[in-house]
Structure 1
Amino acid sequence: MSRYLGSVCKLCRREKEKLFLKGERCSANCALDKKRGKNAPGQHGAARVKISDYAKHLREKQKARRVYGLTEEQFVHYYKTAEKMKGSTGDNLLKILELRLDNVVYRLGLASSKKMARQVINHGNILVNGKKIDLPRYQVKAGDIIAVPEKYKANAVIKKLVEGSTSNVPVWLNFDKNKIEGTIVSEPLAGEASHPINSQLIVEYYSK
């Protein structure tokens, strides 16, 4: 699978907003807060161009892809899955993306960024209902319990993360700091995504 190996700050500059691809580090030292960061990347980044309707739809789709760290092929797969579900395709899409294991690990505070969450999962340091899961794309569901192995609980990094984890945990998740264990209380509702995304623009993009 292809991976983006360039500067993630350029991705935020392209979308002209903080995507928090480095986690909380983006709050303190972000390229968008600097003069150079006000422009899109590239030699023509400072040029003023009129944004077409197509460009608005494309940028929203690209923003969602980057927030969740997906390739175009993966994103299209999730979109097609959302189309087949009952209800709003846009809301279904965001629900599927939010229930990816890597996103849940990040939102529970067990990783400082979604990139780190994928690494933690790939290394076998996440348990779902007591079973080791090493697939970041794994879809969790209401009632699932997310935990870490006993040996990982003593890790200095996880201890530091756990100390500040409960403040940003969304209402559809519950986190027990003492057990270092999270529970999927319910499925996320519209508007409870990890980043503000206009899913209707994405639906219109793929509908053309």
Structure 2
Amino acid sequence: MAKYIGPKTKISRKFGELIYGNYNKSFEKKKYPPGQHGNNRRRNIKKSFYSIQLLEKQKVKYTYGILERQFRKMFYKASKKKGIKGEILLQLCESRLDNIVYRLKLSHSRPEARQLVSHRHITVNGKIVNIPSYNLKPGDKISLKEKSKKHKAIIYDSNRLLGSIKKWLSWDHHKMIGIFKSIPKRKQIPEKINENLIVELYSK
């Protein structure tokens, strides 16, 4: 499975925010773009509209851990559905299994969630699924494999979960089962993304 394995702090500094979700001390010290002149305001050259669109696409890809070929397929899939293309595209990103594992607070970040899935710690409707990009449907049940419930890589903490699960998900901390209740609406997706720029970029 292809994935980005380069420096994560550098990517976060490029966009000026924590792309990978978890706290990063290095990023807090240097929130400006990487490079020799990253903190030099005098070199703040005006970006072209194409550059802005491209950066927004890259931001989404890094946020959800999706490579170009797969992301392009997701856009075409979103284009065939009825509704707002940009919103549907983000909904497809949010419906990925690795993202749901992250949203259920079973990991600190999406890369960690992706590792849990690929290492066969996660089940969907009682069956092990090791494909991070697996697309969930409303009603699907997500849980930890029985042997994995006490695994040191799992950060599950019922007290930490209280009040932090998204409204379109649910988590039973006694049975340790999560439910993908519904596809999230755009206002329920917290990421600061301008999906319209991505649609305009691919529509050229």
Output the TM-score relative to the length of structure 1.
0.89
Distance apart, 1:39 and its partner CA: 2.7
Letter in 1 for 2:10: K
Alpha-carbon separation, structure 1, partners of 2:177 and 2:183: 18
Correspondence list, 1:121-132, <5 A: 121-132=117-128
SS of 1:56's equivalent in the other structure is helix
1:24 aligned partner:
22
Aligned-partner Cα distance in 2 for 1:2–1:124: 17
1:11 to partner: Cα distance: 0.5
8 Å CA contact 2:4, 2:65 repeated in 1 = no
Higher alpha-carbon deviation: 187-196 or 127-136: 187-196
Pair 1:174 & 2:170 matched = yes
SS of equivalent residue, structure 2 residue 154: helix
- The question of whether the paired residues in 1 share the 8 Å contact of 2:3 and 2:65 is answered with no
For 2:74, the equivalent position in structure 1 comes to 78
- 2: distance between equivalents of 1:126 and 1:169? 18
Match of 2:54 among 53, 58, 65: 58
**Structure 2: tracts of 5 or more residues without a match:** none
Relative to structure 1, is the Cα distance of residues 127 and 38 closer, same or farther in structure 2, using a 3 angstrom cutoff?
A: closer
Partners of 1:166 and 1:110 in 2: CA distance: 13
The equivalent of 1:100 in structure 2 is 96
Q: 2-side partners of 1:121 and 1:162: how far apart? A: 20
Identity of aligned residues (%): 40
Residues 17 and 31 in structure 2, CA contact (< 8 A), matched pair in contact too: no
Matching residue's letter, 2:12: C
Return the match for 1:202 from 190, 198, 204: 198
1:42 to 35, 42, 45: 35
Distance 1:48 1:161 in 2: 44
The one-letter code matched in structure 1 to 2:32 is N
Is 1:14 the counterpart of 2:7 in the alignment? Answer: no
Q: CA separation of 1:167/1:198 partners in 2, compared to 1, >3 Å: closer, same or farther?
A: same
What is the RMSD of the two structures over their aligned residues, measured on CA atoms? 1.7
* TM-score (normalizing by structure 2): 0.91
Give the CA deviation at 1:53: 1.5
Amino acid at match of 1:74: Q
Unaligned regions of 5+ residues in structure 1, if any?
A: none
Please tell me whether the aligned partners of residues 111 and 161 of structure 1 are also in contact (alpha carbons under 8 angstroms).
Answer: no
Q: Cα distance, 1:94 vs. partner?
A: 0.5
| Equivalent pairs, count | 201
Sort the Cα spacing of 1:163 and 1:153 in 2 relative to 1 into closer, same or farther, 3 A: farther
Q: What is the identity, as a one-letter code, of the residue corresponding to 1:3?
A: K
SS in 2 for 1:143: coil
The CA deviation at 1:167 is 3.4
Task: Write the deviation string for residues 39-92 of structure 1: whole angstroms up to 9, x where unpaired.
Answer: 311234343111221122111111101100111111111101100111111011
